[in-house]
Structure 1
Amino acid sequence: MTTDIVLNIAYVDKSFSGLHALKDVNLQVEKGKTHAIIGPNGAGKSTLLNVCIGRLAPDRGTVTFNGEVITGKSAHEINQAGVVRVFQTPEIFHDLTVLENVMIPALATRDGSFKLNPFVRMDAETDILREAEQALEEMNLLEKKHMHAATMSRGDKRRLELAMGLVQHPQLFLLDEPTAGMSRADTNATIASLQHIKERGMTKVIIEHDMQVVFSLADKISVLAQGQIIAEGTPDEIRGDPRVQEAYLGGTHHE
């Protein structure tokens, strides 16, 4: 394996009650690239991410991050190693302000634990405040930093969670449906923000049904169908692959 491979998924199988969710999945993510995983509902995309972050143990196979096998490590250990995932349903603190939401993971990353009270002299944490505001600016949310998160639109809540991930300085950023439920205007704004992050060279894996998002951001695309990788290539190669058109892009499944 070359040093340019950040994430290496090798021969991964996962079954639930005898049903194969993943079958012999092999996938490599290169440093600084945006790698999209697409496929119809039930293809195994979220299961694959859960295996990568330690929420699920594979029945067979290994996941390697930066040359180290992380299979068998806890989700907390994998996160501390630099793998950050943003989930399909926003996981934010609705009773706190937008800024406070981003300061909490920034403090946790610095301290290495959520056990410490993040509200102790939070207003005095100027370095954390600066990092949180920078992450919000990258997601075009800085002007809303004093809003309570509960009052935000769904699109803004999604971008808030992206900011909460960014402030942890991930070495590998896993995005599960980052534009799910967004209006087209919100989706376009999120694409622009993610393109800006891409220019910084951050390594990302994106699960997404919106092909505008995928083709705007991805350097490489892997296509999952019934738990197996059926095609892999550049956006142009995937557009023209008849297997992909049949299984996803041009089939009966529409998102």
Structure 2
Amino acid sequence: MKTKNILALAAGLLFMANFTNGAVNQQPADDKTTKGDGFVVLELFTSEGCSSCPRADELLGNVQKQAGDKPIYILAYHIDYWDHQGWRDIFSSPENTKRQYWYADKLNAQVYTPQVIVNGKTEFVGSDEAALTNALRNTLQGSSASTLKLTGKPEAGKMAITYQTSGSKNVELMIAAVQKNAERQIKRGENGGRTLRHVQIVRRLQSFKLEKPANGQVNITLPKDFTAAEWEVIGFLQDKVTGEIHAADKVVNDI
């Protein structure tokens, strides 16, 4: 299936590309869309057992490809409550399901797949292309009073991450080890017979209370199959009372 709408970045401006019969009709965003120093954390709750989920994976995969150096961070959590429908998702975990229910409580929202949470504050159906487009446009043109900078280097299955923060209080540092891409042959369940392509799979999420809020270091354990080329590490500052995410960053390799 061809995409109908992707996030395209050109000449420092935000464009939305509309594909019709293979032709591209690019519409530049207005000035308000391209201003601001906002960031976007897109958290997708998904499953290989859900027939509506591949479309959400596809949409976020296009954002992943087009994001460039924009502050867009994608995290896909595979939940486990679809595993009893004839197919077990090997990326699923009860911890991911627990996180989705935690958000449902914070946002007074339902639990379903595919569901996207934006900056811990709003949610929508992950396959809703218009909602995704609006979330990207509106959030990037916003602003943030907080900052987060992360550096680190993988070594022997672990990573010491140095952080620098400003502007946030009463937050925890969340660190996600993310597998950027995967392809799976699905043999049973609602997606039986399909080949699914996943992006930005959260394979491990760790939380740290910041004893030194402004700067310091935390240590994480990396998944056994972690490689610097095929994975990335994303961190964000989250208010554990409201769920709001105040800042985010990818770990830069500290050579």
The question of a shared fold, defined as TM-score above 0.5 by the shorter chain, is answered with no
Q: Of the two structures, which has the highest relative contact order with CA contacts closer than 8 Å and spacing of 6 or more? A: 1
Q: Which has the higher helix share?
A: 1
TM range (shorter): under 0.3
